[in-house]
Amino acid sequence: MGETGPVSTVQDESPGPAARPGVILLAATPIGDVEDAPPRLRRVLAEADVVAAEDTRRLRALAARLGVRVNGRLVSYQEHNEAERAPELVRAAQEGRSVLVVSDAGMPSVSDPGYRLVGVAAEAGVRVSVLPGPSAVLTALALSGLATNRFCFEGFLPRKAGDRSRALAALAREPRTMVFFEAPHRLADTLAAMAETFGPDRRAAVCRELTKTYEEVRRAPLEELAQWAQRGVRGEITVVVAGAVPQEASVADHLARVLSLVDGGTRLKDAAATVAGETGLSKRELYEAALAARR
């Protein structure tokens, strides 16, 4: 083979999709420090034909701090009008307009309006793109000091104590690190409920006012954090809680489940297979233990 010269690599150095006609663009906004806004956000705020904002007043204030004038039509797009507004925004994109969607802080559709719009746009064949940026979920997770290899986002817990307790009970054995949002006036009660359900020694972190002047991260067991929060906490709150440590399953612990299925009319072989699938235990060992218990 003959010698070849150096291979040249051409990289796309364009700044990414701007406010393009017929496209809906979900754009992240700063969660605290306005300097976290990427240059592309400034550009699309000025270029978009339609800007859908969770709070139009807050969006205008953000634009002013960024030194940007919103030239397109500014409309409200929030929890209470999301279902009605989504088809309207999709139609605007179908008619060739560029549509920009922003929430008050962070990424639209992550505990904020947006995911229904994406679904409607997908059904209509309208392209949706994302302008990535700040996220309270990922920022708090990174600062928590807890495991980040697997995590889940649970948003806001129910406000009523009973509903909150049931929601936490369903998460008691969740092995992944969990991220929650919470209002400051409910934080103490929520942490106390978590300590009761997850255990007082479960590690957690309360992240307050992320990226702002008075940013604070408290890392401690849930019981200690609940006591601290009793003194009163202000600001935007994100709570990160360690996942449950997997419990070692034993045949004795799950034998009653096999026998209950058999009493309900399930064949012993099938009952053992069902519980084995639920627990990871040996089907043969469950079957033999159930046989012995029934003699």
Beta-bridge partner residues of 52: 75, 101
Q: Considering 99, 134, 169, which residue would you say is the last residue of a domain?
A: 134
Q: Are residues 223 and 152 in the same domain?
A: yes
Cβ within 8 Å of residue 69, ≥6 positions away: 46, 63
- Rounded to the nearest integer, the mean pLDDT of the chain is 90
Q: Are residues 141 and 170 in the same domain?
A: yes
Last residue of one domain, picked from the residues 84, 106, 134: 134
Question: Same domain, yes or no, for 130 and 35?
Answer: yes
User: Per the structure, how many domains does the chain have?
Assistant: 3
Does residue 3 sit within a domain? no
**Cα–Cα dist 110/26, whole Å:** 11
Domain containing residue 95: CATH number = 3.40.1010.10
Two structure tokens written together for 90: 């999709």
Residue 101 domain flag: yes
Task: Provide the CB-side half-sphere exposure for 54 (13 A, CA).
Answer: 20
Of the residues 78, 101, 134, the one at which a domain ends: 134
Q: Is the pLDDT of residue 10 over 80?
A: no
In a domain, 11, yes or no: no
Are residues 232 and 156 part of one domain? yes
| Strand bridging mode 151-156 / 177-182 | parallel
Whether residue 129 sits in one domain with residue 142: no
Token pair, residue 20, equals 């393009």
User: pLDDT tens digit string along 196-249?
Assistant: 999 999 999 999 999 999 999 999 999 999 999 999 999 999 999 999 987 777
Note the pLDDT tens digit of each residue in 55-102: 999 999 999 999 999 999 999 999 889 989 999 999 999 999 999 999
In a domain, 283, yes or no: yes
DSSP state of 95: T
Domain match, 36 and 127 both:
yes
Domain that holds residue 111: 23-134
Strands in 203-208's sheet, in edge-to-edge order, are 151-156, 177-182, 237-241, 203-208, 216-221
